[in-house]
Structure 1
Amino acid sequence: MANQTGRGGLHQHNLSQVLQQIFNNQPISRVEIAHRLNLNKSTVSALYNELDQQGYIHEIGAGSSTSAGGRKPMLVKINGRYGYTISFDLGFRHLHVIANYLDGRIIFQGRIQLQQHDLQEVLHRINDQIDRSLAADTTQQGLLGIGFSIHGVVAHNQIINSPFIDMGKLDLADYYQQRYHIPVLLENEANLVAIYQRDFGQATNEANILAISIHRGIGAGIILDGQLYRGRHGQAGEIGRSLMFTHDTDDQQYRKVEDFCSEDAIIEQVQHQTNRANLDRRTLVQLNQAGDAIVQASLNKFSRSIAKVIYNVAISLAPTAIYLSSPLIEAIPELLTAILAEIKALGLQTPIQLTTPANLAPLLGCCALVTHEVLNLQDYELSFTDLVN
């Protein structure tokens, strides 16, 4: 939120607080807002009327009267039909998309197969999804903002590094801002999983959480004191690049963590040992179900290795809760059981839960990020939990 001082700054702060209270506690009355914010009723009514004129809120009828009787208070909630956001997860083989009303309710979601993983195909698919959403739109203000989940390093709303797609000289945010004249936000996929858990998920009351995303690589989203921690140049949480020593340290024989316990690492190990080509997650799951000894040995090694990674990160950051996001673990639930057993043996007491479905978390995290932006509530907590469950 822009820094403001004086009377104008106070007014904007109070307006934001009223909007936040409506978003987080809907349906709610003006009396309850005044009570929660310790503001007088006339001030809240003026702010309420301003939000009503802007179209952000919607009255739904009278609530229950108090024990003292009197007029029943009018209840209000966020006007979800004010507009919508659309978010994309730029994966390796697929493009995932979701559209949400302003209050977070899902309009549609989809998964698009990428035939040729090049920039022009990706842009064509994205443009097609946006144009389709605009053609079917029935909201008052239409498309309010666009978000992108990036499997790579993002800083200052630009892709610094991504192993999946070469953007060349294209500034993705600027491209879509110029095309649609609305806010466009880019964020790291693991960071968005952390935002999802903070705003949509089970961590709405947790100030310090860690979201570990295990896909082709390994990354971590870090929430400290309720805020996303990105670090220098957006590189916080790049735990897959941490080093693991494989022999005597004097020989300096070491490899990256993701070379041992990412999804790609497991697939590569199995391919090497079985001479299979084009192995993917689905085939890996099928081989495990069939009792393939090589696959099961690799998965056991994965469980032990990822448990150590989680332990090391947890004792460094001391989060109150840890959330794992992994399509592989989601497809093979016994992996989570094995990981938790390993972590318990290491003595870590931090609660650990699996984020499901893994492909939806970054998209909803992206929705939350963009919604904060379009409501100008970047520094205010928003809870979507009761809106989508």
Structure 2
Amino acid sequence: MRVLNSLSDLNVMRILRLIYLEKKISRVDIASRLAMDKSTVTKITSELCTKNLIREAEVGNSGPQGGRKPVFLELNGQYAAIGGIEINSEHFYALILNLSGNLIFEYTEKINPDEYLKIGFMGFFKKALSVIKKHAEKINIRLLGIGVGVPSLVDYAEGKIINSIPLMIYKPVEFTKEASKIAKIPVFIDNDARCCCYTEKSNCENSAREKNMMYVMIQYRQQKPVKGSQKDISVGFGFKLGGKVYRGTNSLAGEFRSMMWNPESKNQFSNSTNYIEDLSDTKKINPLFKELAKNVAFIVNLLNLDIVYAGGIDEKYTTKIVQYIREEILYLWPYEKNVCPDIKTSEPHDRVVSEGAALMVLDRLFSVPEFSDNMKQEVLYAALWI
């Protein structure tokens, strides 16, 4: 197995990561951006082209002084693929992204409560994995890894599910160890809201103003995968700070309970003691959304964030939440001049978590690890060279 044990290997990963982030970039720009010798860049990119990991994309325009036109390089999307899975209380989602991060397959299925009681969370992971593997075999593309996003407390570094009320997991589960054995490839897991950060991160990676981001995930679904379970609103936060997804100590960052919460409440907010039975019930929904906006605005102003995304439910509701957040940010800002960050609705699609989970693995695959990084990075890296 090829391992990361030399400066040469690290230079390979630096180049691959830059190509991954930029999508298309010339050899000259790679050398300039990474402060590397042009001959070194040429040698490494030639090897990567020979192995079909990257390819020449197109020829650019000459500079103002004329001269040779630059040839852009890009990842070869067909070289391999990554799977993404979301499992929640109502559905599971499965998809495949190619090495360039482009969607090539997606699938969704409702979770039957009786079946969930019988096979549980791991049973549905196996079902989603089977869907992904069958399609990968059908289109003859190699899977390098699987990312999983779930509504739960997750220890990302250890690959553990600590607790999940929506999935009825009440004691720690060594998920990635068991899942990787089942899948026979590396499997990673994270909280669903943090997975959403990767989906939006891939859209704004090269913007200097979008290094500090919050994703507000608002979900309206059954509380548990059991018959008769009531629907309600639940909220979780994901953060990207300094260009990196922030997890906090023990990977517990992003758990939400309103600052106005009281012990009599049955949910995360102060102003509702009953379940939300219908999102069109504006008497219940609008006060809840406004309370959420106050909490979000406090964090945005405190951390001076660049951008906030709201997603997870129908766009007509997230549009209203975005409006409330803007109003609260301006209201709570203590000075005359305020530079309000971008507040946006997330792209409305059901695969935002599963796509983010797959992108999480791609981001890790094309990272530049320390020598002390764990074995899964080595396995992912080695898989590139098979």
Q: How does 1:176-195 map to 2 (within 5 A)?
A: 176-195=179-198
Letter matched to residue 135 of structure 1: E
| C-alpha distance in 1 between matches for 2:166 and 2:332 | 35
- Per the alignment, residue 147 of structure 1 pairs with 147
1:298 and 2:284 aligned: yes
Q: Residues 260 and 213 (structure 1 numbering): CA distance in 2 closer, same or farther, change over 3 Å?
A: farther
Deviation larger for 360-369 or 224-233: 360-369
1:229 and 2:214 aligned: no
| C-alpha distance in 1 between matches for 2:321 and 2:66 | 57
User: Which has more helix, going by share of residues?
Assistant: 1
Letter matched to residue 258 of structure 1: Q
| C-alpha distance in 2 between matches for 1:203 and 1:68 | 27
Query: Unpaired runs of 5+ in structure 1?
Result: 247-252, 271-278, 289-294, 380-389
Whether contact under 8 Å (2:59, 2:69) holds in the other structure is: yes
| C-alpha distance in 2 between matches for 1:49 and 1:202 | 26
Q: Residues 177 and 333 (structure 1 numbering): CA distance in 2 closer, same or farther, change over 3 Å?
A: same
Tell me which of 349, 357, 370 is aligned to 2:361. 370
- Per the alignment, residue 199 of structure 1 pairs with 202
Whether contact under 8 Å (2:13, 2:368) holds in the other structure is: yes
| C-alpha distance in 1 between matches for 2:246 and 2:129 | 31
Residue aligned with 1:154, SS: strand
- Per the alignment, residue 24 of structure 1 pairs with 21
- Per the alignment, residue 163 of structure 2 pairs with 161
Q: Residues 300 and 28 (structure 1 numbering): CA distance in 2 closer, same or farther, change over 3 Å?
A: closer
What are the superposed Cα offsets for residues 16-65 of structure 1, whole Å, 9 maximum, x if unpaired? Answer: 22222322334333233223333222111111123224431012455445
- Per the alignment, residue 37 of structure 1 pairs with 34
Q: CA RMSD in A?
A: 3.1
Percent identity, aligned pairs only, is: 23
- Per the alignment, residue 258 of structure 1 pairs with 268
Whether contact under 8 Å (1:214, 1:324) holds in the other structure is: yes
Query: Unpaired runs of 5+ in structure 2?
Result: 220-232, 371-386
Q: How does 1:1-389 map to 2 (within 5 A)?
A: 9-60=6-57, 62-65=59-62, 72-116=69-113, 117-118=116-117, 119=120, 121-139=123-141, 142-155=142-155, 156-166=158-168, 171-201=174-204, 204-205=207-208, 206-215=210-219, 216-240=233-257, 242-246=258-262, 255=265, 258-260=268-270, 268-270=274-276, 279=277, 284-285=278-279, 288=280, 295-328=281-314, 330=316, 333-347=319-333, 349-357=340-348, 359-377=350-368
**How far does residue 322 in structure 1 lie from its aligned partner after superposition?**
1.6
Whether contact under 8 Å (1:243, 1:255) holds in the other structure is: no
TM-score (norm 2): 0.77
Residue aligned with 1:258, SS: coil
Q: Residues 330 and 192 (structure 1 numbering): CA distance in 2 closer, same or farther, change over 3 Å?
A: farther
Q: Residues 131 and 297 (structure 1 numbering): CA distance in 2 closer, same or farther, change over 3 Å?
A: same
Whether contact under 8 Å (1:269, 1:298) holds in the other structure is: no
Residue aligned with 2:165, SS: coil
| C-alpha distance in 2 between matches for 1:100 and 1:255 | 41
| C-alpha distance in 2 between matches for 1:313 and 1:72 | 47
Whether contact under 8 Å (1:98, 1:106) holds in the other structure is: yes
Q: Residues 30 and 146 (structure 1 numbering): CA distance in 2 closer, same or farther, change over 3 Å?
A: same
Whether contact under 8 Å (1:327, 1:358) holds in the other structure is: no
| C-alpha distance in 2 between matches for 1:203 and 1:113 | 36
Residue aligned with 1:244, SS: coil
| C-alpha distance in 1 between matches for 2:295 and 2:28 | 50
| C-alpha distance in 1 between matches for 2:308 and 2:137 | 40
Q: Residues 309 and 50 (structure 1 numbering): CA distance in 2 closer, same or farther, change over 3 Å?
A: same
Deviation larger for 48-57 or 96-105: 48-57
Letter matched to residue 49 of structure 1: S
Q: Residues 353 and 75 (structure 1 numbering): CA distance in 2 closer, same or farther, change over 3 Å?
A: closer
| C-alpha distance in 2 between matches for 1:255 and 1:138 | 52
| C-alpha distance in 2 between matches for 1:180 and 1:304 | 44
**How far does residue 86 in structure 1 lie from its aligned partner after superposition?**
0.8
Deviation larger for 363-372 or 120-129: 120-129
Whether contact under 8 Å (1:329, 1:336) holds in the other structure is: no
TM-score (norm 1): 0.76
Deviation larger for 186-195 or 121-130: 121-130
Whether contact under 8 Å (2:80, 2:99) holds in the other structure is: yes
